[in-house]
Structure 1
């Protein structure tokens, strides 16, 4: 069906289009260099990083991904000492990151290195002349293992940094992007409402929601303020995922404007009118808090450790604190009328870093940054120190006798994510370099957590990895996703009738959706020559 077609295309080895072959393949293996020219394991540009020297440290202005890192954090001190650098670190909260980044760049204060969440933002900055070109050959030379990991694990990620036949950054991999979020039910609430088993279909959900309503509990909530998150498992039951590009009848189309999306909206509007959906779903606020308090029973975006009561910060642990009799179980994604079921997944390509235009004149800094990224992603010692901190102080193994089973845990007080963030520490992924190679990520997770990630996994991800990789995404994508978010919310709430969907489709096409659809088909044709 529609979901499986999109997934199969991602796995093709011919993913890279012809127009990119000369750029991307030039960095394969030895990056077009002779073996002798590759950095050795002990060289300053190797994955081990540069040892401290008598030379003055390089000063690098680095805008990280959103995290509230403190001054003189453990991580900053560690990297400065290991790589002989002096870092100026920007700390911007998640909610304000994109807006503040744009304001900073518009003021002319362009960091040397910056984390960029999505391709459309990078394309925008590149079109404004704010970014330095970063040839793939340069990445292959100074971060060869990280480059090889991208080529094998997430080749589609090269689309994210490619603009006007040039490469403008280094994409990262996203290990858990191959898994959809987990669906969970408060089974104690189902029992209280007289529902004997976890619903598996939309019809069974409707029946359960009616019974839950009788005990004063909403059936579900979601983040209606998100262009991708809102009601994703319900759309997946109809074989579409709004805003993802998908293959349908041999043509690339966007899930947001498909008739199947309209069908899903009809169900949601009916549920809302009957009082089954939390009326505050539009804000997306306090979802976990409301779920823990028993305000709604079905949560379709839970982390893999949500049901693990050995983790103090897990959802079930919080539920038990509020109600010792509380219960939570993972469940399959709901099936639609044709047996479809799927959940939003981002795919294996993640976000990226880009370099300010001024870095074209400072190759030594570029090389140093790539060496730092290479070490954090591929060298075990650097990865564990740069992500989890000092063993015995910041972290330890869940089961020291069996490290591979339980993986890593933060020690108090760093088991509080906010306190870990102050030190620059974050579970599994570096704020400077994103996710590591799979073998290191899996070692940190442990086999138990990997098994949880695989539970009820039916991912649906974009044909190109991310939906905003097209040439005109920077021009249109922001307006289109806002249009979708607003229109869907209005239909679900009943502010607009279901037939308003047809007007929405027309507005989508006129606002740039038709242009992007043509570009999507051109790109798909190029990558399948």
Structure 2
């Protein structure tokens, strides 16, 4: 469970930046007034049927109104739901025009702070007091505080709260790496590599298989390409991290230069597929082109979005099953732990439990009982596991089933590619991509639904104790991120690729760090430190532990 959710999660930042490029920008400080609700009128009569126009996330572009999940929620909460389904392209192109034309749904989902902040500036978003959330969704609020309190920074703008943050319980887990176990055995390597030196030895052996065989090609696009190598040096190259009590950008630290030095050496030795610098990880009808390098047998190592079920040949559609179908029964896949770095410590990048933001439009401000009803819905999902499961995967026995071997799985025909999505079915119940229930349950609530062995697998290969997340949740919490962040990321990517390929001297990293700060990076760093300081006030206001 959770692989599709993780892949969608990773694509949010890319789509956010594309979306922002389409929206007109108001002059700085010249904001349209946000809709104001009269909370004294926020009295919700459960007997009154409310209409809720609902624009959820873009994970279900082929869905149609009237699904079983929609009807069940309507009956349970006495609402009439009017869902708005968008794919990534419509999210980028159509949504800004829809909003500008005055068609802002009651309930809206935004993946990142940049998107929400732009909508606030355009006057689309209703301010929501913390006390209102505490009153009508206290369990939801406590669970959020325990799993992803940083998400309160996502909904915060100029000292006010503009939405209901969401959370993802499985965000504390990293992803195991995937190794071709048959390649390792053929090379006489008895165990899966756990250190950089052992990885190097394996890659040298893989290269001897032939001119088109490589050790690795990052199976994800920047900004997280090669993060498995960088984090071994205690560097998160595209995240803010804490050093000596201060927030700094991980991509300009000396540890990042150490990782680049190693990658440069490996590239010169022919261990890294040269397509890493030009291929895109954005999925197409044929799948992720970088992942295909591994699936087609060109590389012997893979790091991105793998989980317990991927290594089970009995699970239809697992990574192992799929590769055996195309490459033969000899294929063996083995999970790998995060690498032990030069300092002897094992680390892994994690997303963290903070996810996204659900926010309310102008009509909901005029009818605050709609907001109260939604809060009550999410409180129910946080306290009633059966209601939550119905909102995510439908009816047991009709849409899904459970077994010790497979955990939660979809029944035919919903298990066919794309069919389940049309009915809003999402087996990633530990993630944050349900359409009407955009947060997860706690891990204690989902543990009994996992396949047998999944807990042990996580403890062995994705232990949360190894995890390092962005110091402020997401880098675009910084107010000036819309002005500087994408340019800085592109600048960093170009520099990193040049250094790894040998097109730029290694010492160019020093000039890069200075220019990164000068072209807006220092401003973002200052704002990130201010956000971290502000977080203490926010956590106190919402009752979260500091």
Same fold (TM over 0.5): yes
* Equivalent-residue separation in structure 2 for 1:372 and 1:340 (angstroms): 43
How many Å apart are 1:306 and its aligned residue?
1.6
- The Cα of 1:391 is off from its aligned counterpart by 1.0
Secondary structure of residue in 1 paired with 2:178: strand
Q: Deviations for 1:52-102, whole angstroms, at most 9, x for unmatched residues?
A: x6x554142423343224213332232233333333323233576456544
Deviates more, 1:66-75 or 1:307-316: 66-75
Aligned partners of 1:59 and 1:460: how far apart in 2?
A: 38
Instruction: Report Cα offsets for 1:228-275 as digits up to 9, x if no partner.
Output: x21111001111111222221332211111111122112222222332
- From the superposition, tell whether residues 167 and 498 of structure 1 become closer, same or farther in structure 2 (CA, over 3 Å): same
Give the Cα separation in 2 of the matches to 1:220 and 1:316.
18
- Measure, in 1, the Cα distance between the counterparts of 2:63 and 2:437: 18
CA distance in 2, matches of 1:433, 1:395: 17
Separation in 2 of the partners of 1:199 and 1:444?
A: 31
* Residue in 1 that maps onto 2:60: 67
TM-score calculated relative to the size of structure 2: 0.80
In the alignment, the residues of structure 1 paired with residue 536 and residue 54 of structure 2 have an alpha-carbon distance, to the nearest angstrom, of 40
Q: Is the 8 A contact 2:49 2:80 kept in 1?
A: no
- Which piece of structure 1 moves more, 490-499 or 378-387? 490-499
Q: Return the alpha-carbon distance in structure 2 between the equivalents of residues 89 and 528 of structure 1.
A: 36
**Alpha carbons 1:220, 1:276 under 8 Å: kept:** yes
Matched, 1:219 2:222: no
1:460 is displaced (CA, Å) by 1.0
Alignment of 1:294-333 (within 5 A): 294-301=297-304, 302-322=306-326, 323-333=328-338
Shift of 1:410: 1.5
Indicate if the aligned counterparts of 2:50 and 2:370 stay in contact, CA closer than 8 A. Answer: no
1:379–1:469 CA distance, 2 compared to 1 (3 A)? same
Shift of 1:177: 0.7
Q: Does 1:141 align with 2:135?
A: yes
Pick which of 235-244 and 97-106 moved more: 97-106
Moved more, 471-480 or 159-168: 471-480
Where structure 1 has 5 or more consecutive residues not aligned to the other structure, the ranges are 1-32, 400-404
Instruction: Give the corresponding residue for 2:33.
Output: none
Match in the other structure for 1:22? none
Q: Greater CA deviation, 215-224 or 488-497? A: 488-497
Confirm whether residue 454 of structure 1 aligns to residue 459 of structure 2. Answer: yes
What does residue 270 of structure 1 align with?
265
Distance 2:101 2:253 in 1: 40
Provide the secondary structure at the position in 2 that maps to 1:297: strand
Please name the residue that 1:283 is paired with. Answer: 280
Q: C-alpha deviations, 1:26-49, integer Å up to 9, x for none?
A: xxxxxxx9xxxx99xxxx78xxxx
SS at match of 2:310: coil
How much has 1:424 moved relative to structure 2? 0.4
Match in the other structure for 1:407: 407
* Structure 1 residue 406 displacement after superposition: 5.7
SS at match of 1:468: helix
Matches of 2:402 and 2:474, distance apart in 1: 34
RMSD, aligned α-carbons: 2.7
Q: How many residue pairs get matched?
A: 476
1:346, 1:461 within 8 Å by CA — same for their partners in 2?
yes
**Equivalent residue runs for 1:254-403 within 5 Å:** 254-281=249-276, 282-284=279-281, 285-301=288-304, 302-322=306-326, 323-399=328-404
Residues 138-287 of structure 1: pairs in structure 2 closer than 5 A = 138-216=132-210, 217-223=213-219, 225-227=221-223, 229-281=224-276, 282-284=279-281, 285-287=288-290
